[in-house]
Amino acid sequence: MDIVEGLPQGKALDLNQSGPVVGYEPNMVGTNGYEETSGSDIVVITSGFPRQPGMSRDDLLAKNKEIVGGVASEVKDRSPDAIVIVVTNPLDAMCHVTFDTTQFPRQRVIGMAGILDSARFRTFLAWELGVSVRDVTGFVLGGHGDTMVPVVSYTNVAGVPVRQKISEQRLEEIVQRTRDGGAEVVKLLQKGSAYYAPAAAVAEMVDSIVFDQKRVLPCAALCQGEFGIDGLFVGVPVRLGAEGVEEIVEIELEDDERAELEKSASAVQELVEALRTV
């Protein structure tokens, strides 16, 4: 669904025509209205306004609060049992807008950020070591922004701790590149932002829910005491299944990682407080 006339219809037609080649049967429907979305099991919200030159963070917050709030209201009315995956930035704040608007249970409002950030982290590590990305395990927690927390202590290559393979200085450089990952893509493209990796991350979340895979994935979830965080959507490891967030999986962090997560949560808190004034 998109507000631009013809755009969703054209994309749906294009996707339908790839079915015979790729090998799938379901039909896609493109629409400019919400009626066709009624009764959805899962809704992915990507609607939003891109940040423009001269636009402050509060300006972006205000604009996307209005847009995401409007979408969430339609979802609440038309698909009251849906699980909602939020992609719009500022991600953590938009999760709060969606949660407050729909008033869905916390397990049915989830933010897509950690999987994308983790994929960037794993990619950079695989390149550094010259190994397959499939053999790199690691994840990124915290807010989806400059304060995100790549958890080095749990990162390994085929079970070997990454600290045994890469120096601390080089690891810190890779951590920083991960934090700048989205901005790096935007700078290269000049117009637009990352597309393929975010889409793949959303698909991984949808698969885990639809097929009840119970994958443990880093997603933005509403913490209620977990990791010492209360009342905030923050990136944490979650078990994703048919009910949505079935568990927030708490892990033991090193002291500096826990401090970084607390700092990241504070940054999310500032965003949430700014929401109340826009």
Active site residues: 144
Determine contact, residues 275/68, Cβ cutoff 8 Å. Answer: no
Determine contact, residues 219/235, Cβ cutoff 8 Å. Answer: yes
| DSSP 3-state of 194 | coil
Amino acid letter, residue 60: L
* Tokens found for residue 26: 């379901």
Q: How far is 242 from 124, CA to CA, in rounded Å? A: 32
Residue tagged 């992609």 (tokens): 87
| DSSP 3-state of 239 | strand
Q: How far is 154 from 169, CA to CA, in rounded Å? A: 17
Amino acid letter, residue 212: D
Q: How far is 174 from 177, CA to CA, in rounded Å? A: 5
Determine contact, residues 140/261, Cβ cutoff 8 Å. Answer: no
Q: How far is 8 from 2, CA to CA, in rounded Å? A: 6
Dihedral sign computed on CA atoms, order 52, 57, 61, 62: negative
Residue tagged 């669904």 (tokens): 1
> How many Cα neighbours within 13 Å face the side chain of 225?
1
Residue tagged 């990952």 (tokens): 181
Q: How far is 91 from 64, CA to CA, in rounded Å? A: 10
